[in-house]
Amino acid sequence: MSGPARPASTPARVRGRAVPLALLMLLAMVALLTAVLLPRVGTADGGSERLIHSERSLYRQVLVYQDDDAGTRCLCFTRLCAIGRQSCQYLREPDRLVFEYTQMMLGALYLAPQPRSILIIGLGGGTLPHTLEKLLPQADIDVVEIDPAVLRVAQQYFGFRPDAHVHVIVEDGRAYVRRMLRGPRRYQLIMLDAYDSQYIPEHMLTREFLMEVRSLLTPDGVVAANTFSSSRLYQNESVTYQSVFGGFYNLKSGNRVILAANGPLPSMQTVTRNSGLFYQAFQPFGLEPADVLARFSTRVDWNPHARVLTDQYSPANLLNALPP
**Catalytically annotated residues:** 193
Q: Is the dihedral of CA 105, 109, 111, 114 positive or negative?
A: positive
| Strand ordering across the sheet containing 249-252 | 166-170, 140-145, 117-121, 187-192, 217-228, 255-261, 249-252
Alpha-carbon torsion (87, 93, 99, 103), positive or negative = positive
Q: How far apart are CA 110 and CA 277, in angstroms?
A: 9
Q: Please tell me the distance from the alpha carbon of residue 67 to that of residue 35, in angstroms, as a whole number.
A: 15
Q: Euclidean distance between the first and final Cα of the chain, in Å?
A: 44
Find out whether 85 and 226 touch, Cβ atoms under 8 Å.
Answer: no
Q: Which of 199, 201, 154, 149 is nearest to 173 (CA)?
A: 201
Q: Tell me which amino acid residue 23 is.
A: L
Give the contacts of 160 (CB within 8 A, at least 6 positions apart).
123, 125, 126, 129, 130, 151, 154
Residue 261 phi/psi, 5-degree rounding, is -125, 150
Stated as kind and residue range, the H or E segment containing 20 is helix 18-37
> For residues 272 and 280, what is the distance between their CA atoms, to the nearest angstrom?
15
Q: What is the CA radius of gyration of the chain?
A: 24
- Enter the DSSP assignment of 94: T
Give the C-alpha separation, 179 to 246, whole Å.
25
d(CA 116, CA 151): 23
